[in-house]
Structure 1
Amino acid sequence: MTVYEGTSATRPDRRFGRAARRHVDLLTNSGSLMGTTVVTSVLGFAYWWVAARAFPADVVGSASAAVSALTLVGTLSMFGMGTLLISELPRLPDPARRWNFIVTCLLVATTAAAAGGLIYVGLARFAIPGLRHSIGSWPMTLMLLLGVVVTATTLVLDDGLLGLMSGPLQLLRNTYFALIKLALLGALAFVPLAVGPGHLLATWVAGALLSVLLLTLSLRRRGLSAAVRPDRSMLRGRLVQALEHNALNLALFVPRTVQPLVVAAVISPAATAAFYTMYMIFSFVTMLPNNLATTLFAAAAGNMTALRAKVRMALLLSVGLGVPASVVLALVARPVMGLFGPDYANLAGTALSILALTYSALLFRPLYFAIARVRGRVPRASVFAVIAGLAELGAAWYGGSHDGLTGLALWLAGVWVLQGLYTAPAVLGVALRRPDAWKHAAGRHRA
């Protein structure tokens, strides 16, 4: 090698290029997840915009409540199957066995979703009158049950595709879903009949079903056999692991879902709308470490020696891209919120700036949970997630009741900084550990 060649090989852009080629799986699949977020957000906004323009407000309100219900119940009904697929698929070398395992987990999720949907319908119809508008007439109720099952199934299927490191396929399915439901909604606006919430819900469920059908046709063209069948024996010894992952998923999912209810309880409905919008904007920044962490888990599952390099790349991207974006968001937070109206800027402009400045601490949290999953320390991570979730809800309640959304953001930011101080040493310890020491640790883990 000449002096010039040796010098060129050490240039930062060349080093980064080599690193990108080594971690193409991480970059491709995390990019697909971010693409899914962008596509579903943009086309989802278009869907509800068309609905609001074309149909009465009470119809759209009941349909949106039903969609929220099927999304919540479907997510809870995954029963840890999606995370189990991400964890176990890399350990199965036979492609046919991988698809047998995916179909088996889909069957479990479908069964759990059917049971969860029936429980929700029973509660909504007979025990909680305030939820009756989300189930409507009996035809709409049946459509809601089907939607719960389809939602759980598609979410598990997406995780299975990620476990196969086929992120572009889950992006394709979600793009099909977003486009089809929007097209069906547009067609519904020209149908000469009295449109009810059940019709809007039908466009959502039909879009999900057709997206799975189109994805199946794509997979068949790629060589997927029609003879793939579930194999319940593949769940032996894995159900406990699935329950552990499900407990962690719930500990992470529930507190973030409950936060808007806390805002509504202690501040006002107007503040709830501003908080929801603020959090949606902030989520576009935090989706980078979140999606990288999900892909990190898929890429490093069953291969602990690859964990260190994947964590370093995820940290590099989260810091190099996310930190500048969060600083910019903190500076322009008030004008951005002002795009939704002056009340939004007054209520949440300062709060969004505060949350944006906590990104540097918050980026370690999703990587910490991904590392815990890879290293088989899910129960310990679940305990931390429960404590962290309760602290977030307590901070939101106390801060919001004393100083509105600004107080809520300050107290929430304090909790997030403490979480960063707790999770950063674990993440940095993996990223900075010497390769030989990590191989020794991996050997102990396998033993």
Structure 2
Amino acid sequence: MSELDERTIGDTAFTGAVPGPAAGSDSDTGPGTGSGTGSGVRPEPGTRPEPGTRPEPGPDAAPAPVGRVRGLWRKLLLDLRNPLFRNGYALMANTAITAVLGMGYWWLAAQLYDPADFGRGQALITAMRLFASLTALGFVGALAKFIPLAGRRTPELIVRAYAIAGATGVTAAVGFLVTLPWWGPTYASLGGFGPGLFFLASVLVWSVFTLQDVTLAGLRKATWVPVNSIGYGLVKMAMLIGLAYTLPDDGIFVSWIIPAAMALIPINIFLFGKVIPRHVRKTDSGAPPPRLPEIGRFLAGDYPGTLSILAIVYLIPVLIAAQVDEVTFGYFSMAHTLGCLIELLAMNMATSLTVEGSFDRDAIAANSRRALRRAFMIIVPIVVMTILAGPFILRVFGSDFAERGTLLLQLMALAVLPRVLIEIYLSGLRARGQARRLALVQVGLAVLVLASTLLLFPHLGVNAVGYALLLSELLLAALIFNDLRKMLKYGKTSQSTIARGSL
């Protein structure tokens, strides 16, 4: 199937309608099957069916389980033929794989390492990811938007993103190391030339590692992202076990970074040796690729918005680590990590929506509606299960984790529901190039979360993070709701004309 065919699949692929069987088929669920003889005639009331025939199910009869399974299977196959959902499902599957392997990793860490080493390892990983993501996270939206349009400049765009993200992250990390006494005793282990140099190298590795997934998604190869995650997760757990005996103080941090560095080589050989050249051949239509000033303007609007993710996922934990002891941070970080994984599900479908919006701007409204339905269909059951089973999930790591982290995990899971609306709205803004509004919404969310966390922390402790997220995202979802509703209806009747006129 060509790319054009994939982008123009009918709405039956998304509304749940399943094509009926062809005439004369053996199916007993479609029209024309009747009592199973092919006549399509119901027996008269009060009569018995002829011998050897099956009675026709009444109007209130429940559909056969086999029919439901078959319908769901057909629906899934239709979804997978559309790149919007194929990429979105692949990224969601990657999140699920990351969650499962991550829980296994942290369970092993809780069993093999001292509670103080456990908390310190998480604190070092969080700080490293903060600086690595400082610019890399800003390129996520830009790569998702411009890789589909870059044509022959695709390799240059990706290499520039790698270089800028790595250099900026390392520079910020140097500033962190210079001011290390300000950040409390949790980070004191980074003092000295050797540990500091390893930390800087880790920031560089993770900067590139962060951009690999969105690069694959932008190239419509997100199905390879879970493969990378499985390999990385398994090697990481194996190293964690080995280092528990040879490097007990820093085994968690080292086992996190070395497998990531190992993964950079095969993935980038695959990208630059095979995937990118094929992408260039398919998309190089002769139209001029986006110029650097155009990409720069987009980054100027989009990058401030990454402060939202940095604040929620990375900066807040670093600030908490500077305020509490290592053991308390370990309990907080486990619940926070699981909560962020659920929130990442909302971002996955939005990333795919940005990519498809760049390929086909006229379909932004329709794709937004479809992505919103699919996101809620998947995320709502996960949120409900997390709220109900939160104590049991955390008890896997130990009774203290459940006692001190359950409420935080439940609050963060509940906050994902308004986050779905926010992420679909932001993705639509990216695809339509509305950088100013994009920056305003994301910076507003970052300010709300940070301010409310700082205000509530003296009274609620680490649970302040959960309350701050829930209140801030509910408020922002309410503020953008009318614009989101217009975006979902945008171009519904005269899609092509309206979309082109506004971009």
TM-score, structure 2 normalization: 0.71
Distance of aligned partners of 1:361 and 1:217 in 2 relative to their CA distance in 1, 3 Å threshold: closer
Aligned twin of 1:115: 171
1:68 deviation in Å? 2.5
Compare the two structures and name the one with the higher helix fraction.
Answer: 1
Question: For the Cα contact (< 8 Å) 1:255–1:389, is it kept in 2?
Answer: yes
1:263, 1:271 within 8 Å by CA — same for their partners in 2? no
Give me the whole-angstrom Cα distance separating, in 2, the residues matched to 1:266 and 1:208: 29
Change (3 A) 1:262 1:398: farther
Question: Which digits, 9 at most, give the CA deviation of each residue in 1:264-313, with x for residues without a partner?
Answer: 89999887666544444444543332211121112212521121222111
Contact persistence 2:335–2:405 (CA under 8 A): yes
Give SS of 2:165's match: helix
**2:440 is the alignment partner of 1:383:** yes
The alpha-carbon deviation at position 374 of structure 1 amounts to 1.3
User: Which residue of 2 is the match for residue 305 of structure 1?
Assistant: 362
State how far apart, in whole Å, the 2-side matches of 1:411 and 1:107 are.
35
Residue 304 (structure 2) aligned to one of 247, 254, 276: 247
Q: CA deviation at 1:350?
A: 5.7
Counterpart mapping for 1:203-282 below 5 A: 203-219=255-271, 222=274, 235-260=292-317, 275-282=332-339
1:173 equivalent to 2:228? Answer yes
Question: Counterparts of 1:288-299 in structure 2 under 5 Å?
Answer: 288-299=345-356
Contact 1:263 1:397 in 2 (8 A): no
Question: Given that residues 333 and 353 in structure 1 are in contact (C-alpha distance below 8 angstroms), is that contact kept between their aligned partners in structure 2?
Answer: yes
Taking a change above 3 Å as real, the CA distance of residues 444 and 284 of structure 1, as seen in their structure-2 partners, is: same
Match of 2:134 in 1: 76
Deviates more, 1:142-151 or 1:383-392: 383-392
- What is the CA distance between 1:370 and its match in structure 2? 0.9
Alpha-carbon spacing, 1:328–1:100, altered in 2? closer, same or farther (3 Å): same
What letter matches 2:93 in structure 1?
G
Gaps of 5+ in 1: none
Moved more, 384-393 or 148-157: 384-393
Structure 1 stretch 362-371 or stretch 20-29: which is displaced more?
A: 20-29
The residue identity in structure 1 corresponding to 2:161 is: C
Does the 8 A contact of 1:88 with 1:302 survive in 2?
no
User: How has the CA–CA distance of structure 1 residues 406 and 216 changed in structure 2, closer, same or farther, with 3 Å as cutoff?
Assistant: closer
Assess if the C-alpha contact under 8 Å between 1:113 and 1:148 holds in 2. Answer: yes
Amino acid at match of 1:390: V
> C-alpha separation between the residues in 2 aligned to 1:326 and 1:357?
6
Shift of 1:83: 2.4
2:125 maps to what in 1? 67
> CA 1:392 to 1:221, structure 2 compared with 1: closer, same or farther past 3 Å?
closer
Q: How many residues in Structure 1 have an aligned counterpart in Structure 2?
A: 432
Matches within 5 A, 1:36-435: 36-51=94-109, 53-54=111-112, 62-78=120-136, 80-94=138-152, 97-124=153-180, 130=185, 133-188=188-243, 195=247, 197=249, 201-219=253-271, 222=274, 235-260=292-317, 275-337=332-394, 349=406, 356-357=413-414, 359-399=416-456, 401-402=458-459, 412-435=469-492
Structure 1's 328 and 210: CA in aligned 2 closer, same or farther, altered over 3 A? closer
Query: Is the contact made by 1:20 and 1:27 (CA closer than 8 Å) also made in structure 2?
Result: no
When structure 1 is superposed on structure 2, of 235-244 and 278-287 the one drifting more is 278-287
Letter in 2 for 1:123: T
Q: Does 1:444 align with 2:444?
A: no
Secondary structure, counterpart of 2:369 in structure 1? helix
Say whether the 8 Å CA contact 1:304–1:442 is kept in structure 2: yes
Name the aligned partner's letter for residue 245 of structure 1.
D
Distance in 1, matches of 2:276 and 2:470, equals 47
Residues 208 and 365 from structure 1, CA distance in 2 versus in 1: closer, same or farther, beyond 3 angstroms? same
1:10-34 residue CA offsets vs partner (Å, 9 max, x unmatched)? x994998399448632222222222
More displaced 10-residue stretch of structure 1: 317-326 or 404-413: 404-413
The alpha carbon displacement at 1:364 in A equals 0.3
Task: Report the alpha carbon displacement of residue 444 of structure 1 after superposing the two structures with TM.
Answer: 1.7
Question: Counterparts in 2 of 1:3-14, with a 5 A limit?
Answer: 13=71
Question: Structure 1: which amino acid aligns with 2:347?
Answer: N
Q: 1:130 to 1:41 in 2, by over 3 A?
A: same
Identical-residue share of aligned pairs (%): 20
